[in-house]
Amino acid sequence: MCGIIGIIGKAPVTPLLIDALKRLEYRGYDSAGVATLVNGHIERRRAEGKLVNLEARLADKPLPGIIGIGHTRWATHGKPSERNAHPIATDRVAIVHNGIIENFQELKDELTAEGKRFDSDTDTEVVAQLLTSYLEQQMSPEAAMGKAMARLRGAFALVVLFSGRHDILMGARRGSSLAVGYGEGGEMYIGTDALALAPFTKRVTYLEDDDWVVLTGNGATIFQGTKEVKREIRQSGISGAMMGKGNHRHFMLKEIYEQPTVIGDTLQTYLDPATRSVSLPALPFDWNKVSRITMTACGTAYYACMVAKYWFEKLARLPVETEVASELRYREPPMIEGGVCIAVSQSGETVDTLAALRYAKAQKQTILSVVNVPESAIARESHVVLPTLAGPEIGVASTKAFTTQLVVLLSAAIAAGRARGVLTREDEERLAHALIELPAQVNEAVNMEELYKRISEEILAEARDVLYMGRGSSFPIALEGALKLKEISYIHAEGYAGGEMKHGPIALIDESVPVVVVAPTDAIFDKIASNFEQVKARGGKLVLLSDQAGNARLGSHAAASIVLPAVDPVVAPILYTVPVQLLAYYTAVAKGTDVDQPRNLAKSVTVE
């Protein structure tokens, strides 16, 4: 969740800290703060709310110093306030923290008994007070950090600034991502991920679980427990230039418009247009010997799993179980040896998905991950990685990450079907052709701005409740459309399988309830058409998403229609994702909500 940054520099670091926090604000925007050393003493500037409030505070009261840390917060322990904003500090240390200290109450009771006084409601403060206690016992910062790591339980990333020590920063990671950046001539960086470090350096080391690190101007020394360990320095492919909005009003809109390009980029990795065949990396298993696939993810990525279930079962005749990761990790289902677990995550750091992956691994499942960050924890703990090529996604509501996940999962399903003899060579060529045409069709779907705006402003924005329905592989797209609308417009919305409408949800239908119908012309179009008529008979305000053939049958009875290119039904879920994204976007704009940073949400969910 939260974004953290630390810098050892040669010039004042506060402007650099703020610049990095702007790239991390998608991770949390309840409050923000920075701390530096000024003449050996810790000085802080903190503000409740978005980063602009902290910038105003700094404009009024600048903060010098050539070593410092910064934080943008998504609140866990303690309500959003300046009092609970990070950095959390004592007179000896200042700390920024992402995650949760699970045994904070036990530690707090112990430290309170020692006479320590707590000034915030955060779990983070126990770490600051614990380190202070060790330092007061004449331990070195290194010894204090090592001992603290042995006491802390939970998932966290920490960066620590020590009073009187202009020469070191320390960091620690357990469960939450943390990366070290190597600068030039005495400059070092540490932050949540490579995105935070992109403008400063491309030479990055990703810390592993239970690593803690000492940064000096000369480099980084990494430890596990008391033992020094070596970690690879990698060349990051992320650049600061990838972070702008371009000419778009919001990151979300920019990322929606990038979908034709990133879908094409992803296809180039998995599809040979000359031979019209799908090619995956070498796999550590034989598709013919796979007994079952378990797919697990959270949020939007889970809906990608739901779509892929249809694909794997139809195209490869493989049984698939889809599991919300937060449920799988605690339900502890039996898994038959020889199965494959597919974990899907944009960030590759989603804590529930990572825990579900580890459970599946312990059950002797082969782990295949679909992630947008190849250096992430999920990727590193997988047997094989199928990367999406979406590029950095800053908008909290996932868009291009979702459609590229779908492209990768469909490619895998086609490869499995071909290997298992379910698909003929002609089938593979037909599906490959459908995928090759997809970027142009997505581009066509994106470029209907006035239509999306009109429907959003005239039908959706004034509604209190909106229903979405679809059948077959369009059902998860209905769920995704409802989620997008909830996330960024704050309108209550629900997605349903079309056949389930008459089993309860139809009771909600009247002329004030818009119903968005995801209805490509496919083998079960007649069924969704019947559900369409059932809603119409109850006075529902219908918004139809279909192609020319579907619109010819149902469009005259709809309050509005969005006519999409005719596509192979197998790829239709990818194409039909675009209009539900744009309807949510323009509805949110019409309502004046914060599209990129919706309330209570943050990107990369690294806490339970």
**Catalytic positions, please?**
2, 603
User: Residue 114: is it exposed, middle or buried by C-beta count within 10 angstroms (0-12/13-18/19+)?
Assistant: exposed
- CA gap 326, 312 in Å, rounded: 23
316-349: b (≥16 Cβ within 10 Å) or e: bebebbbbbbbebbeeeeebeeebbbbbbbbbbb
Coil, strand or helix at 444: helix
DSSP secondary structure code for residue 470 in this structure: E
Which residues lie below 8 Å from residue 535, measured CB to CB, with a gap of 6+? 469, 501, 506, 509, 515, 517, 542
How many helices (H) and strands (E) in the chain?
19, 27
Phi, psi angles (nearest 5°) of residue 73: -110, 140
Residue position matching structure tokens 């070593």: 67
* Residue from 112, 77, 119, 79 nearest 98 by CA: 77
Residue position matching structure tokens 């378990």: 294
User: Is the CB of residue 185 less than 8 Å from the CB of residue 30?
Assistant: no
- CA gap 194, 604 in Å, rounded: 14
Cβ-based neighbour number of residue 15 at 10 Å: 12
Cβ-based neighbour number of residue 585 at 10 Å: 26
Q: Which helix (H) or strand (E) holds 154?
A: strand 154-162
Strand partners, 3: 72
User: Is the CB of residue 576 less than 8 Å from the CB of residue 528?
Assistant: no
